[in-house]
Amino acid sequence: MSEITFDDFLKVDIRVGEVIRAEPYPEARKPAIKMWIDFGDEIGKRKTSAQVTAHYDPSTLVGKQVMAVVNFPPRQIGRFMSEVLVLGLPDENGEVVLIGPDGEVPIGGRMH
């Protein structure tokens, strides 16, 4: 494991956002879902895709609060430009479970 400084950690901007739209991404190499996430006035709406089809379908994601890194440069995923990186953890089968707050919080809040 590589060590980082606290200042390095502070450079990673992790915010809470609310999924406002989600749809299947059948063109992806691995099953994925495209998501549009609202991070509030400061960050705005951003899009991403994630391989989360084992635990979620698009209809269950809308309205869900998720955590994401918002200050990575955009990345082309197939024909879709991903603007944020949603965060998750693998379950016992290696399938991604998204990370979000335990209770409802204001969107755009930065993780401390």
**Is the model's pLDDT at 23 over the cut of 90?**
yes
pLDDT at 28: 85
Domain ranges of the chain: 6-98
The reported pTM is 0.94
- Output the six-digit token pair for 6: 């606290």
Whole-number average pLDDT of the chain: 96
Task: Identify the three-state secondary structure at position 105.
Answer: coil
Evaluate whether 35 touches 28 at the Cβ level (below 8 Å).
no
pLDDT at 105: 97
Q: Which residue has the tokens 């509030």?
A: 40
Q: Where does residue 13 rank: exposed (0-12), middle (13-18), buried (19+ CB within 10 A)? A: middle
pLDDT digits (tens, 9 = 90+) for 65-80: 999 999 999 999 888 9
| 6-98 topology per CATH | OB fold (Dihydrolipoamide Acetyltransferase, E2P) (2.40.50)
Which residue from 68, 56, 65, 55 is spatially nearest to 94, judged by alpha carbons?
A: 55
